[in-house]
Amino acid sequence: MSIVRLARPEIQSLHAYDAAEQVDDTIRLNANESPMAIAGDRFRRPLNRYPEVRPQSLRRALALRFGCSPDALLVTRGSSEAIDLLVRSFCRAGEDSVLTTSPSFSMYRHYAEIQGARIIEVVTRAEDDFAIDVDAMLAACEASTRLVFVCSPNNPTGTSLPRPQLEKLLQERGDRSAIVVDEAYVEFSGAPSVIELLDTYPNLLVLRTLSKALAFAGARCGAVVGPNSVITMLSAVQAPYALATPVVECVEDALQDEQIALAEAAVTHIIVERQRLIREISAFGFVKKIWPSDANFFLIEVEDAGEVLRCCQDQGILLRYFGGALASCIRVSVGSTDENDRLLHALGMLQGTGA
């Protein structure tokens, strides 16, 4: 059975918006557009015209990049939009639930709350290196659990879910839940994308983003990859013309070989810098623990998180604090060599004060 059957009934039967036809070399008097390209001609497609309802050449380019068929991919405004589309499409308010781990990326909870879906969180523990316990996830799944979000590598812990564990989750949930693997940081892990498992598991959906390794957070572009039946359904839910012409064109340009080579070199550099930061920060006496990370950030536990945050802020450096179960922890994103040197300098000053 296709996991489309898990979606809200009204979404399963939703038809895509019937947009005005777009045909090259025709006089277009069918879309109430302006005939004048007043905003200039910096773009290959003039801005007085609507973009494509769904950007097909960008879809092909991203599919090539991610190693899937274009039919299996929907281009989204960042992977955040994909999370929103999935929760809205699969969860009936007040009835269905979303399962994820904790701590993890807070947008799963955020969109579940907007939709009125219940959120079930399976806690991962600092003392077990925040390992994701698939048996505990399976035990926590309910009949109402339509979506299971697995963030791998996980934000903010940097932990990856080993492939055999993911496959166990996929096999055991079968057609009872869609398993959504959020691979926002996969390029920093050295592991291959689980997109290669799509043909084996019809309940697998994968989220990808251009915001991290490809250094395109400002363009707001990502993708959800999965069975064509689900992609077609999500496409009907997404706003028509969601991807603006300037975004489509600048992302297409960024996917050229030379740009990709630059992005890949940057990823290699960030991984080297991550290891340097982890090594050097471990030496400070106020640091109690640093967890290994497969991402472009890492989590540290310190004696006094408030003190570390304040000291860095005084030096013009922002770090991320979450509180709650991570009350003594801080997430550090890996910056440029110079930014990382400044962080080490700021932490060195704190060490000097005996904090």
Ligand X SMILES: Cc1ncc(COP(=O)(O)O)c(C=O)c1O
- Contact residues: ligand X, CB under 6 A: 78-80, 105, 151, 155, 182, 184, 209, 211, 217, 222
| Minimum distance, C-beta of residue 105 to ligand X, in the bound complex (Å) | 4
Q: How many CB atoms lie within 10 A of CB 258?
A: 7
| Minimum distance, C-beta of residue 297 to ligand X, in the bound complex (Å) | 9
- 87 Cβ contact list (under 8 Å, min separation 6): 98, 108, 111, 112, 114, 115, 117, 147
Q: How far apart are CA 289 and CA 305, in angstroms?
A: 12
| Minimum distance, C-beta of residue 83 to ligand X, in the bound complex (Å) | 7
Tokens of 344: 């080490």
| Minimum distance, C-beta of residue 222 to ligand X, in the bound complex (Å) | 4
Q: CB pairs under 8 A, 24+ apart, for 332-341?
A: 332/277, 332/281, 332/297, 332/298, 332/299, 332/300, 333/296, 333/297, 334/270, 334/273, 334/274, 334/277, 334/296, 334/297, 334/298, 335/273, 336/273, 337/269, 337/273, 340/273, 340/276, 340/277
Q: Which residue in the shown chain puts its C-beta closest to ligand X? A: 78
Geometric angle at alpha carbon 105, from 194 and 56, rounded to 5°: 50
DSSP code string of 315-339: TT---B--BTTBTTEEEEE---HHH
CB nearer to ligand X: pick between 88 and 350: 88
CB nearer to ligand X: pick between 180 and 347: 180
CB nearer to ligand X: pick between 78 and 103: 78
| Minimum distance, C-beta of residue 226 to ligand X, in the bound complex (Å) | 16
| Minimum distance, C-beta of residue 185 to ligand X, in the bound complex (Å) | 7
CB nearer to ligand X: pick between 185 and 286: 185
CB nearer to ligand X: pick between 104 and 115: 104
CB nearer to ligand X: pick between 79 and 97: 79
